[in-house]
């Protein structure tokens, strides 16, 4: 995993984990885990905002 695969935003107290290359075309919010899942064009996750 490269060093830019994980980033922390102190102003929002959130951690972003990029798990594969590609752009997010849609987001899904999992309110039971307080996680936003960025989905690619194929519907599979490209990253998580925790």
What pLDDT, in 10s, does the model give residues 5-33?
999 999 999 999 999 999 999 999 988 88
Tell me if 17 sits within 8 A of 6, measured CB to CB: yes
0.75 cut: is pTM over it? yes
For residue 25, give the nearest of 45, 7, 6, 48 by alpha carbon: 45
Does residue 29 or residue 3 have the better pLDDT?
29
Express each pLDDT in 41-50 by its tens digit. 999 999 999 9
């Amino acid at each position: 995993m490269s060093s830019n695969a994980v980033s922390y935003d102190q102003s929002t107290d959130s951690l972003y984990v990029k798990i594969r290359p590609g752009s997010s075309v849609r987001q899904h919010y999992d309110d039971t885990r307080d996680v936003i899942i960025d989905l690619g064009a194929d519907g599979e996750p490209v990253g998580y905002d925790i």
